[in-house]
Amino acid sequence: MQTNAQALLLSSSNCHGFSLLEFAKQEICSFLETRNVSELVFVPYAQKNYDDYTKKIKDAFTPWGFSVIGLHTYSDPAAAINSAKAIFVGGGNTFLLLKTLYDNQLVHLIREKVITGNLLYIGSSAGTNVATKSIHTTNDMPIIYPPSFDAISIVPFNINPHYIDKIETDTHKGETRDQRIEEYMEMPHANPVLGLREGCILHVNGDSLVLKGVAGAVLFEVNVSKKVEYPVGADVSFLLNYAKETC
């Protein structure tokens, strides 16, 4: 897969022991500063109250020297994306986010701009899910029906954010996270799934993929029975070679 994409895909905005987005501060600041970007367009579509959500994100970014404008404040969201240099796509509900991106005809536009190196992408949680091949591996409840589970496809595989291998409680009979991901891996259309532990960041820099942040990731591959652990600093660029026939 040929790409000039520049992206930071965060497992979550919150990480135990840190204030909102604080665990990712250094990566976000250097990502934007080395590319001379000081203004972010924030995509609040994963939550219901766009103004409140934008204020929260603005409050986190302002002390770091970046200005934040909510995408919902523009009358023409596509035009706003077209003139933006960087977007931050926040977490919330992945189904609501993807549906709203489709409703505003932004999925293909964002893909084209990011892949050609004309838009920096920062995503967190649901904002990371929609950056991948599909939302088949979100943890969210399907509260609204999107026109497709196919997503922006900045990377040609899937991510499971907030990855955790502990079970909820030892007496509860609901599936564990690993069982849920294994159900997906049995599907004929399954892509590899990178489980980002809370605090992990996938840094996409053209054809280089490196794990950053304060926690690592776990890789599930089709026809590979055991998941593989990757620590912070690991190079996972080989995942870009993955291009499944669409079915």
- The residues assigned a catalytic role are 125, 140, 162
Q: Which one of Ca ion, a second copy, none interacts with residue 31, CB within 5 to 8 A by kind?
A: none
Least Å distance, CB 152 to Ca ion, is 17
d(CA 189, CA 205): 26
Q: Pick from 112, 90, 108: which is nearest to 147 by CA?
A: 108
Closest CB to Ca ion among 84 and 200? 200
Bridge partners for 163 per DSSP = 197
Q: What is the DSSP letter of 119?
A: S
Least Å distance, CB 204 to Ca ion, is 21
d(CA 207, CA 192): 17
d(CA 76, CA 170): 50
Segment near a second copy (CB under 8 A); pick from 7-15, 59-67, 102-110, 115-123? 7-15
Closest CB to a second copy among 162 and 212? 162
Segment near a second copy (CB under 8 A); pick from 104-112, 114-122, 132-140, 205-213? 132-140
Q: Which one of a second copy, Ca ion, none interacts with residue 148, CB within 5 to 8 A by kind?
A: a second copy
Residue 58, burial from CB neighbour count under 10 angstroms (0-12, 13-18, 19+): middle
Chain residues 180-239 in contact with a second copy, contact rule CB under 8 A: 180-181, 183-184, 186-187, 189-190, 198
Residues sharing a CB contact under 8 Å with residue 7, sequence separation 6 or more, in sequence order: 114, 120, 121, 122, 123, 131, 154, 155, 202, 203, 204
d(CA 56, CA 58): 5
b/e 68-86 (16+ beta carbons within 10 angstroms → b): bebbbeeeebeebbeebbb
d(CA 202, CA 145): 28
Q: Is 140 in the site for Ca ion (CB under 5 A)?
A: yes
Q: Which one of a second copy, Ca ion, none interacts with residue 164, CB within 5 to 8 A by kind?
A: a second copy
Site string for a second copy, 134-163 (x = CB under 8 A): -xxxxxxxxxxx--xx------------x-
Closest CB to a second copy among 162 and 227? 162
d(CA 138, CA 127): 10
Segment near a second copy (CB under 8 A); pick from 52-60, 89-97, 206-214, 219-227? 89-97
Applying CB under 5 A, the residues found at the interface with Ca ion are 140
Q: Which residues bind a second copy (CB under 8 A)?
A: 12, 14-16, 48, 92-93, 95-96, 135-145, 148-149, 162, 164, 166, 168-169, 171-175, 180-181, 183-184, 186-187, 189-190, 198
